[in-house]
Amino acid sequence: MSYGTNGTILRVDLTTGSISTDSFDEGFYRRYPGGKALAAYHLLTEFRPGGDPLGPENVLILAAGLLTGAPISTATRFNAIARSPLTGGFGESEAGGYWGPELKMAGLDAIVITGRSPDPVWLWVKDGAAEVRDARHLWGKDPAAVQAAIRDELDDRMVRVLQIGRAGEHGVRYAMLMNDLRHYNGRTGMGAVMGSKNLRAIAVRGGRRYTDLAHDPATLAELGRRLARQVPEHAQAWDLRTKGTPGLTDGQNAGGILPTRNFRQGSFERVDEINLAAYLGLRSGTRSCYACAVRCKPEMAFSDRYTVSSAYDGPEYEAVAGFGSDCAIGDLQAVARANELCNELGLDVISTAGTIAFAMECFEHGLIGPGDTDGLELRFGSTDALLEMVVRIGERSGFGDLLAQGSRRAAEAIGGDAPLFAMHVKGQELPMHDPRGKVGVGLGYATNEAGADHLVGFHDPLFAKADSVPFRSVADLGITEPTSVLDLGEKKTRIWHTSERWNSAEKVLGLCFFGPAPRSMIQVADVVTAVRAATGWDVTIEELLEVGERAVNMARVFNVREGFTRADDRLPERLFNPLENGALAGTAIPREAFEQALTDLYLLKGWDPVTGAPTGERLRALGLEWTAALPSPGSATAAVSGAGADR
């Protein structure tokens, strides 16, 4: 192959132990080049509608992006996609690191995993061949020990290990995947899906180079060299390297949108104890993903009130705000320890923090008490309760077993006003960005097929000023008129639609959101150059946007098939009520304007504004008319079982 792909995927049926490969032609790859698009194709065509997310029938697909492994900064990502046990809909999560590039070097674009092994196993993939190995001795162990044992068994320190933790083994609905211990597919419970298959780890090693796959390796290499010079000199790269994502904490607080006490407030009175200055006092260094000149991954190690080792990634902004302000914890050491516990156990930081903040509010309102929480005083600000709760969720012990189901299910079980305190969309907990201060992010939370996610489109402040670097960088995408962060009119929905198509394209190409426009270390034209050099295809910006839109529509078709409608594209009620404090005190999302913006967005997308489903016309325009012939839940023959299949 010479269009940036291997043309080959690996299929593993863990019930039978059968392993095979499958090949696809160039025409197929031009429509579904990699990552989200490639994985969504296999999920749509191979998952039986209505199947249990935690049953052997779920299909877990791990797919590298088209450019993943190319020698250019930020081309590191791969997608994990399956039916989500947290939302019941399209589950997806991306991660960087080294595992995705190694998969491409091993001669594969994706791995499709079905079935359930009778005993714990791990999968060894080398240069396109694979074997299932015994993991009974690894089950229940810490990830660091598992990675070391696999590398010892193979006598190869450079093997890249993707794995779950005990939370995934136990079926916590928001368990994550991790690779190299430092890079996390956090969201939508892909770790629980892998654990339900009795699959602890996938180790990969390959001998290829991306330039072997590229149509024009010389141009690609030259682009890579230019970006390696330019990227470190970019202001955004400087910011991410010297401060990292926790550089956001002070500004979010100043702007009144730092989620505090389960999104009741937007400003935290103890922010100085979790802010950037506190963070830099604990950070011990930074690390990089494959071939990336940004070097933003934080390393943290200290031994003081708490002890944190450098074996795992240090806390990013989402952990700082999630365990810090949102749980009212003014102690960054405790936040870092909670983050480390999530990594040791294999838990998604955002959903763990959001679910605990929800439970803290229930406790303070008397909906639950010490008799429910095994004696824990689960109040806002209690570091001991926070840390103990993280462990109990990961181990599914005591009250942790209920919270391991996520805030939506826990709220239904607790009853009363509890559902009003569950800050989720489609069952997935909100990231640490309050849409009351950037309403476009709220459109993304509401409409995203995988539930609340902050990486669906551009955050509103990035396109609020005409002369800013981020805004000027998206002119090539057709975004030429700025609009305010609180605007919900036509300008906002048009920009949002374009940004969603672009971000989705990045998920298909395998690019990190921190690289290309609007972060703009990498220009839109550079992305087009990279794809042309990799593939030899005469692609345009519009074709890349359409690739992204196609992937979004495949995810939407999946959800429609599982019974989702516009009614599921709904923000938590709290966001339509005013913030209690901070610079935006009294600000709420205007409900009618938001509903109108949703309608406008559906029409732009070519979706039915009543049902939220893609129209046949739009599906035909995207080359997805074949999805109409897929089986529906009613035509499925097997019974649906398990608590996960409740949608």
Partner 1 sequence: MEVHLGGHLGFYDREKRSRFRVHLDREMALVDLIRELGVPEAEIDLAAVNLSLVSLDDARVGDGDRLDLYPPMGGGA
Quick one: which segment of 330-338, 395-403, 514-522, 598-606 binds partner 1 (CB under 8 A)?
Answer: 514-522
Burial environment of residue 543 by CB neighbours within 10 A (0 to 12, 13 to 18, 19 or more) = middle
Using the rule CB under 8 A, which residue among 63, 111, 162, 248 binds partner 1?
A: 248
Query: Alpha carbon of 622 to those of 100, 510, 554: distances in Å?
Result: 27, 21, 10
Token code pair at residue 296 = 């933003």
CB of 240 to partner 1, least distance (A): 8
- Of the pair 138, 521, the CB lying nearest partner 1 is at 521
Using the rule CB under 8 A, which residue among 137, 226, 305, 465 binds partner 1?
A: 465
Tell me, by CB under 8 A, how many residues bind partner 1. 43
CB of 402 to partner 1, least distance (A): 28
Quick one: which segment of 222-230, 252-260, 330-338, 367-375 binds partner 1 (CB under 8 A)?
Answer: 252-260
CB of 279 to partner 1, least distance (A): 12
User: Does 236 participate in binding partner 1 (rule CB under 8 A)?
Assistant: yes
x/- mask, partner 1, residues 258-277, rule CB under 8 A, reads: ------------------xx
Instruction: In whole angstroms, give the CA distance from residue 293 to residue 286.
Output: 12
**Computed from CA positions of residues 241, 245, 253, 379, in that sequence, does the dihedral angle turn out positive or negative?**
negative
Using the rule CB under 8 A, which residue among 123, 462, 486, 524 binds partner 1?
A: 462
User: Does 470 participate in binding partner 1 (rule CB under 8 A)?
Assistant: yes
Using the rule CB under 8 A, which residue among 467, 538, 592, 629 binds partner 1?
A: 467
Peptide bond preceding 518: is omega within 30 degrees of 0, i.e. cis?
yes
Quick one: which segment of 52-60, 112-120, 415-423, 467-475 binds partner 1 (CB under 8 A)?
Answer: 467-475
User: Does 254 participate in binding partner 1 (rule CB under 8 A)?
Assistant: yes
User: Does 519 participate in binding partner 1 (rule CB under 8 A)?
Assistant: yes
Quick one: which segment of 14-22, 247-255, 417-425, 540-548 binds partner 1 (CB under 8 A)?
Answer: 247-255
Using the rule CB under 8 A, which residue among 250, 549, 562, 569 binds partner 1?
A: 250
The strand pairing partners of 516, in sequence order, are 522
Q: Which of residues 431-460 bind partner 1 (CB under 8 A)?
A: 431-433, 454-455, 458-459
Taking Cα atoms as reference points, which of 446, 444, 186 lies closest to residue 318?
186
Q: Which of residues 570-589 bind partner 1 (CB under 8 A)?
A: 583
- Of the pair 519, 566, the CB lying nearest partner 1 is at 519
Q: Which of residues 302-361 bind partner 1 (CB under 8 A)?
A: 316-318, 321
The DSSP output letter for 75 is B
CB of 466 to partner 1, least distance (A): 8
Instruction: In whole angstroms, give the CA distance from residue 297 to residue 76.
Output: 13
For tokens 């077993």, the residue is: 401
Taking Cα atoms as reference points, which of 323, 333, 269 lies closest to residue 302?
333
The DSSP output letter for 315 is P
Side-chain half-sphere of 598: how many Cα atoms within 13 Å? 27
Q: Are 394 and 400 in contact (CB under 8 A)?
A: yes
Instruction: In whole angstroms, give the CA distance from residue 285 to residue 287.
Output: 7
Buried b (16+ CB within 10 A) or exposed e, 303-334: eeebebebbbbbbbbbbbbbbbbbbbbbbbbb
User: Does 251 participate in binding partner 1 (rule CB under 8 A)?
Assistant: yes
Element spanning 601, H or E: helix 591-605
User: Does 538 participate in binding partner 1 (rule CB under 8 A)?
Assistant: no
Binding-site ranges for partner 1 (CB under 8 A): 235-236, 238-239, 242-243, 245-248, 250-252, 254-255, 276-277, 296, 316-318, 321, 431-433, 454-455, 458-459, 461-462, 464-470, 513-514, 518-519, 583
